């Protein structure tokens, strides 16, 4: 009985194996080729995702489909065991292909997508797009990701099927790093040309790829290229053993069109001129920081640029272009990363408070500020007390052997000598007694110290009186009494960003027509404050400045926000790396700094050529020539002294003449 059961079981196994021997062998061939591709062309430590259609309960599970899933499962287990890659398997519901997106905590490096077996090519393409949609939302594909598409069934027209596949994945996902594994039909069912060696074998797997910029193509030729063939005799042997993932992005493009969608934001993008071409279209001429880097990239990569203005939404959604870039002060943030791929940052900008620069101090005020008010006040008592001490000491020496000089015996003469010593002028007579001489020497040293300090600062302040204290903090801003230049868009942005310092601002507001007008008023009139990017502030300061020194641009020490500026490209576009290489080399060579320096220098020179206003107080005080006119105060004091002396002399003569007249009258 036992022997009969064993014979019956063996018979059933032989029958079942004979029924499914062909599909299992072919599917095992697919998986063996896949394993060889992963081993040879995929680096270790990558993240792998495998996706294939799932058959629901409403779909009849044939022996073919059941064995296919079993072989896929077995091979994936073997791959995971051998490579220890991070593996994720996903099955697409064929009844609901547009289901929920698959959210992974990482961006996979390799995507293996199985298609079929289906006889209709359009259905295969639909399943392919559905699976790619699952993986591309909400986290899009990495530009360096590699894709392996496996078609397990025969196609009537392979060339047309491959073209549909390439068109859909390029237009929708910008995927170029791909291979398609498809069974080679028999010679009587082939719908494609022979390969370069003229070798055609049945029961083999062809591996196709696509080169978007091969030759003079600009991603407009969607013909597949036969790369290699996985032979059925030995599962790990390829016909040509070529690299399945070569570099598909050339260093130089054949003048391929590149559409640059720009928004006018000074100084990143500025409209300099426009004209009408032969077709009646208005063509704009642009300049700016972004435009300079785009031109550098286009020149290095041999691209044909076509600039177009855009508003908040940039890009041609209805007609995807081979290469498109979006520019015009695009800060690096999470919103930009969700919608587009970004280049490496080429500039660092910050939103800051621009304030009027400190004005030049008045020369007389600076001269009087050499000493504190208390020092100036105490100088007068020092003079008077010194003169009284001289007079008192000279008066006491009258009864001694050595009598003091006549010039120190009266209070008026003592005041005169004290004033002469303080002004470093010689006195008519030197003191004779030891006590007066000692006091005289002490006062000489005091006067020498005070006059040296005063003269040093006096000459310095005449040449450069310096500036008033600058506004450096937000508290200084509130105490400045200036007006705040209010712009609706900027105020809304600061409120949405929850910038608390903006709410603490306690200043009167004045409406601004735009950013540039407000900044011009800050730099020229100096009666308002304004929030703006630093690059824009430097640009406006250079445009209104009349000197090559950028000393008319002042801002607070603290910044509101800071951000890196980038260019935006379509998600997953393979030219991103080429853009980054050119931008990095341009930054290392200093081309960006050179352009910015030339731009600000030329703006200042253009402004210096303009006729200067007659009431330009800042311009007249820019340079200082020391002359006798700056000593007019001294000469006025000297003249006043002479006039006073002459007046006193005339008064003395009159008094003498009157006294003589009275004496003559009395004698007579």
Query: Domains (ranges, CATH) in the chain?
Result: 33-230 (3.40.50), 363-463 (1.10.287)
Residue of 105, 71, 100 lying closest to 88 (CA atoms): 105
**Residues near 78 by Cβ (< 8 Å), separated by ≥ 6?**
35
pTM given for the model: 0.71
The alpha helices in 42-120, defined as continuous H runs, are: 63-83
CB atoms within 10 A of CB 604: 19
The pLDDT tens digits of the residues spanning 235-284 come to 567 888 888 888 888 888 888 888 888 888 889 999 888 877 777 777 78
DSSP secondary structure letter of residue 480: S
Q: Extract the residue ranges of the chain whose pLDDT is less than 70.
A: 1-28, 54-84, 92-103, 116-120, 137-143, 154, 186-203, 232-236, 311-322, 360-367, 397-403, 459, 462-466, 546-552, 610-631, 633, 661-668
The alpha helices in 589-631, defined as continuous H runs, are: 591-609, 617-620
At 430 the pLDDT is: 84
At 340 the pLDDT is: 83
User: What is the C-alpha to C-alpha distance for residues 203 and 183, in angstroms, rounded to an integer?
Assistant: 7
At 193 the pLDDT is: 38
User: DSSP of 119-152, one letter per residue?
Assistant: S-HHHHHHHHHHHHHHHHSSSPPPTT-EEEEEE-
CA distances from 185 to 139, 196, 388 (A): 37, 17, 127
At 198 the pLDDT is: 35
């Amino acid at each position: 009985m036992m022997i009969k059961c064993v014979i019956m079981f063996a018979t059933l196994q032989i029958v079942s194996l004979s029924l499914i021997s062909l599909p299992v062998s072919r599917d095992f061939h697919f998986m063996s080729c896949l394993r060889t591709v992963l081993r040879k062309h995929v680096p270790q430590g990558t993240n792998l995702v495998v996706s294939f259609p799932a058959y629901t309960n409403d779909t009849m599970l044939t022996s073919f489909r059941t064995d296919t899933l079993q072989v896929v499962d077995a091979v994936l287990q073997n791959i995971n065991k051998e490579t220890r890659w991070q593996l994720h398997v996903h099955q697409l519901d064929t009844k609901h292909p547009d289901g929920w997106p698959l959210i992974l905590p990482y961006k996979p490096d390799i995507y293996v997508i199985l298609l079929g077996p289906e006889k209709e090519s359009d259905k295969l393409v639909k399943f392919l797009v559905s699976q790619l949609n699952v993986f591309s939302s909400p986290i899009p594909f990495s530009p360096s990701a590699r894709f392996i598409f496996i078609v397990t069934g025969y196609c009537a027209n392979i060339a047309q099927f491959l073209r549909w596949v390439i068109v859909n994945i390029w237009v929708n996902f910008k995927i170029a790093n791909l291979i398609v594994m498809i069974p080679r039909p028999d010679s009587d069912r082939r719908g494609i040309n022979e390969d370069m060696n003229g070798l055609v074998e049945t029961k083999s797997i062809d591996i196709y790829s696509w080169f978007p910029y091969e030759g003079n193509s600009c991603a407009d030729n969607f013909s597949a290229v036969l790369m290699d063939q996985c032979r059925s005799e030995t599962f790990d042997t390829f016909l040509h053993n070529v690299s399945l993932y070569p570099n598909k992005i050339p260093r130089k493009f054949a003048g391929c069109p590149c559409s640059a969608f720009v928004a006018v934001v000074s100084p990143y993008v500025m409209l300099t001129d426009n004209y009408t071409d032969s077709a009646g279209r208005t063509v704009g001429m642009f300049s700016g920081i972004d435009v300079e880097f785009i031109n550098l990239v286009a020149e290095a990569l041999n691209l044909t640029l076509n600039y177009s203005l855009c508003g908040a939404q940039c890009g041609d959604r209805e007609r995807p272009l081979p290469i498109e870039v979006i520019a015009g002060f695009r800060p690096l943030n999470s919103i930009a990363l969700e919608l587009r791929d970004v280049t490496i940052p080429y500039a660092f900008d910050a939103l800051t408070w621009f304030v009027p620069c400190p004005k030049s101090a008045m020369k007389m005020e600076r001269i009087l500020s050499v000493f504190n008010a208390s020092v100036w006040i105490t100088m007068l008592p020092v003079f008077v007390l010194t003169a009284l001490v001289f007079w008192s000491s000279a008066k006491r020496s009258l009864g001694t052997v050595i009598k003091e000089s006549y010039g120190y015996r009266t209070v008026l003469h003592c005041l005169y000598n004290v004033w002469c010593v303080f002004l470093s002028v010689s006195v008519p007579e030197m003191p004779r007694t030891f006590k007066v001489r000692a006091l005289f020497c002490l006062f000489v040293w005091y006067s020498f110290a005070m006059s040296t300090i005063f003269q040093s600062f006096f000459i310095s302040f005449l040449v450069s009186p310096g500036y008033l204290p600058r506004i450096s903090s937000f508290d200084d801003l509130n105490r400045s009494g200036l007006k705040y230049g209010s712009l609706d868009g900027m105020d809304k942005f600061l409120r949405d960003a929850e910038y608390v310092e903006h709410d603490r601002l306690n200043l009167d507001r004045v409406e601004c027509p735009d950013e540039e007008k407000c900044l011009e008023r800050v730099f020229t009139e100096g009666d308002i404050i304004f929030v703006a990017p630093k690059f824009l502030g430097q640009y406006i300061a250079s445009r209104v400045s009349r000197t090559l020194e950028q000393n008319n641009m002042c801002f607070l020490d603290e910044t509101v926000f800071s951000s890196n500026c980038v260019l935006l490209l379509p998600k997953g576009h393979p030219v991103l790396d080429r853009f980054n290489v050119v931008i990095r080399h341009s930054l290392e060579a200093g081309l960006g700094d050179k352009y910015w320096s030339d731009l600000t220098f030329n703006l200042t020179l253009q402004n210096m050529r303009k006729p200067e206003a007659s009431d330009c107080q800042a311009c007249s005080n820019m340079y200082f020539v020391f002359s006798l006119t700056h000593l007019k105060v001294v000469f006025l004091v000297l003249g006043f002294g002479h006039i006073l002396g002459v007046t006193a002399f005339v008064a003395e003569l009159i008094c003498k003449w009157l006294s003589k007249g009275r004496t003559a009258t009395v004698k007579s």
